Chain A
Amino acid sequence: MRKKKIWPFLLLMMLAVTVVLAACSSDDSSDSKENTSKDNKETSKGESVSTGNKVLIFGRGGDSVSLDPIAVTDGESFKVTQNIFETLLNFGEQDTTIHEGLATKWEPSDDGLTYTFTLREGVKFHDGTDFNADAVVKNFERWANGSDDKFPYYGSMFGGFKGDEGHVIASVTADGDNKVVFKLTRAQAPFLKNIAMSPFGIASPTAFEKDGDKFGDNPVGTGPFKFVEWKRNDSVTIEKFDGYWEKGYPKLDKIVFRAIPDNSARLNDLLSGAIDLADGVNPADGKTVEGDPNLQLFERPSMNIGYLGLTNTRPPFDNVKVRQAMNYAIDKQSIIDAFFEGRAEIAKNPMPSSISGYNDDIPGYEYNPEKAKQLLAEAGLADGFEMELWAMPVPRPYMPDGAKVAEVIQKNLADIGIKAKIVSYEWATYLEKARNGEADAFMLGWTGDNGDADNFIYVLLDGDNIGSNNYAYYDNKDLHKLLIEAQTEVDENKRIDLYKQAQEIIFEDAPWVPLAHSTPLLAGKADLINFKPHPTGSDKLTYVDFK
C-alpha cells in the first residue's frame, strides 16, 4: 500500500522540479539576454535619466554599525549619517577649517571659557520638529548624561561625562530661541573642531526621546537627506528631504549606500554599471580607472599617517640610537613608489602637512644605510640583532598592502645586519597584542578625526595614551608638558609653536619610523559632478549631481 502511494509522488516531484528548472533556465537565459541588452543601452546613456529620478549608488567597504552618529566610532556609519544629520559647525569643503553649519555665528569669550552660538532660523527636522536652541540643549544633555560605551566620541573629545572630573562642558543653555551658550570648565583649544565632527550631529529630540536606544534604526536629523530603509549588511537608502533649508538642494533624489566588502568586487561593480561611486579603490587600480573614459578618479585629501611603530620599552628599541638607525635604514620612497603607486607623501612627522602646526623644518631621516650601520655600532650592536616585524593583515587607507611593505622593510633591515622575521596575526588579535606591547616593531596607522594636531600627536605619542593609542609605549615628560599646554592654549600662533617644538622632540627620540601619508582613492562615473571627497572620510553629498 505504502509503496504505491509514495513512489508516484516522488517521481512527480522529480519531474516537476526538472520541468520548472528547465523552464526557468531557458526562460532566464533568453529573458536576460533581452533585458540586459536593453539595460546596457540604458546604462551607457545613464540609467538615472531614463528612470526620471537621480539615484546615486555609493559602493563602500562595509555596513554601518548604527545610524545614530553619537553611538559609533566607525567611518562607515558616518558616511551615511553625515548626510542625514548636520552639526553646529562644518568643516571646509575639503579641509578641516571651521565654517558655519546649523550655527551661523560663534563667539568665543577672551578666556576661551564661554562660546555663544547663533543658530540658523527656519530649519526643521525630517519629522517636522523645529530646530532651535532647545533642541541643541537637549542633544548635549542626552550625550553628557551618557557613558563611554553609549557615546564613545563624546567622552573622548570632551574629557568624559557629566560629573567626571575632566569633563570640559560645564553647561549648555538656551538664550532665547536661537542662541546657545556653552560654558567650559577649562579652555579647550580644539573645541570648535570637535563640535564640527560627524558624531555631534544634532538629532530630533522628539525622535530620540520616543525611540530611545532604537534611535539608531530610525535616525531623524536636519540634513539634506532623510532615512528610508536599512537592509543590514546590504544597503542603506536615504532620499531627498523636501524641507531642506538650503533652497535648491540636494540635487540627488536618492542615495543607496551598498556594502561591497571586496575592493576588486566593488571596482567590478563600478565597471559593470551597478554602482556610480566606489570608495576604497586599490592604488594599483588607479591607472585602470584613469584609462577608462566612462570613469573618473577622485583623490581624498590625505589626513593620515602610516608608520612602523617601535616598542620603546623593548630592548634594543629602548636605545634611541637603534631607533634612529631603523629610521635611516628604511627606504620610504621606494615603498611609496611600489605600493602606493606614488600616491603618497613621505612622512617625516607623526602628522600630515595639511594639519596646522606641521613642522616643515624637520629634516626627516633620509635613506642612508651607512649612517644606520654606524648608529648600530655606536649602540654596541655592530653585528646587528634579530627581531620580529609585525605586518598588518588588512589593507587600510594608510597601508594598502602590509605584507608586501613588510618584505621591503625586511630587506632594508637585512642590509644593515638586522634579521627581521615577519609575523602577522588576524587584525583584532594584532591590535590587542601590539597594544599590550608584545611587538618589537609593528606596522600601524591613523586617520585623523578632526584635523587637529592634538588628534595626532597627543593621541598617538603622549604618555597618557600608553595602553590606548600609544602603541609604541613612548613616554617623554617634556613632550607631555608641551602637549598639555597646547590643549588649553587659545592663541593659535602659540599653539602652532608648541606643536612645532613637540615635533622636534619626537624627531630626536624617533619612537617610530614614519612611513607615508597616503592619498586614498575613489572612483566614479564620468558624469558625476560636484563630488568632493573630504579628508575625514565622511562626504557630504548635498551638491553632488549627474551631468
Chain B
Amino acid sequence: MKLTRGGVLVLVGISVPIVLELRTFLGFFDIELPLIAVAVLELLFLVGVAVAYDRLNGSRSAGS
C-alpha cells in the first residue's frame, strides 16, 4: 500500500483525537495519563508507522 501525503494527514488527524481519548478510556480504570505522555505516544505511533512503512516498501521504491 502506498502512503500518500494525504494519507499521512488523515493518519495524524485521526490519531490525535484517538490518543487524547485514550486518557478517557484509561480513566475508567483509574489510570491517569498526563498530557505529555499523550504527545510521546502520538510521536511513537507516527515513528512506528514510518518505520513499518519503510520496511514494507523500502525494498521496492527507494527514495520516493
Q: Do A and B bind each other?
A: no
Interface residues of chain A, those whose CB is within 8 Å of chain B, are none
Taking Cβ atoms with an 8 Å cutoff, the residues of B that contact A are: none
